A and B are shown apart, each in its own frame.
Chain A
Amino acid sequence: MIGVSSVGLVIGLVCGGLALALGIYLKQLRPGITGFIVCTIAGFGCSIIGGLIALFVMAAVIISHAYVDRQDPFTSRAKLEEVDFSETTAQSTMRRLANFGNTVRVSWGALVRNKAGFIGFLGVTFFLAMSAFGPLFIEYEGSAQFSRRVDGARSLFQAPSAEFPLGLDWQGRSVLSHVVYGGRILIVTSIQAGLAATAVAVLFGSLAALMGGWVDGILSALANFILTIPQFPLLLVLASVIQFTDPIQMALLFGFLNWPTLMRAVRAQVLSLRERDYVEAAFALDLGLWHIISREVFPNMVSYIAVNLIFTVRTALYGLVALVVLGIVPLQEPDWGVMIFMGRSQGALFSQEAIWMMLGPILAIALFQLSLVLFSRSLEEVFNPRLRSGL
């Protein structure tokens, strides 16, 4: 999911090219160029997923620059005779895209103005970029570097030097390379966990509220159950019984443990929406569950969902590292948690030249978590106009 590849570069260039072409076509050169840069980087860093998401967002932004709202004759810059009150699917899609692009632009503006939030955003971007593009600049050292042994030295640890900015670890490997490479699996797994939790929560929450009855009963009871049992001990116990072979299993486990909070919120939101006429109408018109979720529930809750997603990512990252540090799950290098575990067992805490093996991952985890918090807090403000206005 994260990591550079030549295929990713091609994808990025294609997506960027599309964005640029769109910009030129719509005579919006500056957004077009921005779109080209963003899409190329995202595609290069995160391959097809990153490229497509970036393309979608940037296309919406470019369109929003060019879009002239035909719907409302009073605010529209269009001439009255141009206004057509009937709307084709294409037009309506266009309008929605433009709306979305507008929201992105407004939010971006709010984000940039919010100092803490912007720092958080930069931090998150930095860690994502480090995981994605770090390998371009720094080579991973997986095997022990016996040749770096200083004559007569008892261990291969070395203090930071010009050649190795964060020193060498117990196997004589560059600590920097492990810091750069050690976050990728953690970050990807946490994001997967967050996405899984969000998907389950939105689905279950809507289902529970819309279906009611025993479905609601069971789902709510399940949510209540998961919410009440203490998470980390449960995680420890589960990890001792389940043999994890793949990080995706960990992601699913964290997803499974983290959906209830959001699910309850979604359920309450849908319940209150249900009382509103248009939803009841939509329901009566049999427009379907998916329609209601995607058109009514999701847009109304996007800020809450985004904040919750980040929260789950943080929880998952916390748990993942903790399990590794305690040695409960298989240790697979490179990984910040494994660095802390090995640092502890190799006595790195007690010597000046070795301490960087622990400080590196400790600072990385702390800073990444902190960036997530700052980012999510400002997201609330960005999405929530009431907070934005200062109250």
Chain B
Amino acid sequence: MRGGLVIGAALTSAVAGAAVLSFIWTPADITQLSIAARLQPPSPEFWLGTDHFGRDILSMIMLGARVSLAVALVAVGIGMGLGVPLGLLAAARQGGWIDDAVMRLNDLIFAFPSLVIAILITAVLGPSAVNAIIAIGIFNIPVFARVTRGAALPVWTLDYIRAARVSGKGAALISMQHILPNIANLLIVQGTIQFSMGILAEAGLSYVGLGAQPPTPSWGRMLAESQTMVAMAPHVAIIPGLCIVLTVLGLNLLGDGLRDRLDPRLRGQP
């Protein structure tokens, strides 16, 4: 499935490109409200139409991409930053009490319905993009810890790791110099998957009003606001949803493609 990797990379770069571009240019100024131009369908002037305040939807989408990508990316960063060291530690101390403690803690977080707890956290701390990041990021930690530990354990049994131990290197140094580079591929693939799940989670949280707050545009809230107008102006509801689908689809295809590419054993399999 080479096609998947290419399509995934193209979709992901398009969304990332739009988000970056929005820092220097958007087709229209979204702080300018124009009731006269409200709910217009796509036209040469407004490529994706306008919303109920007469704002250009394309500009809103570009600014919303920024929020979506930033929240999901930082949440992956939290997951990797805490999960990978925990996983490496657990693998280095396999069977020891640290390993046990890390894995039990993982099981516990895994057992929680993540969406429910994310909603509870954002409701209690107050809705904001930062709290959405925290709520999503917490649930990325056990995912990365588990993947890291699972991938690191077989590496620890290899001969050159034994050689490194004999030469007097400590567990921390071996983990950083030998284990981590060996499992980096796997972490990148998992990162892509968690990234796409983060986009969906952010959309869900901001749809229920617990994500980035107005006036910052976000795809989820655009959908929530469009709900009462969906019969009059379907494009207001369809466009932000399609953006979420294409972004998540792109990241998933990219993740699958990278996994096949980076793991030679999977090459040639459907």
Real complex partners, A and B? no
B residues touching A (Cβ–Cβ < 8 Å)? none
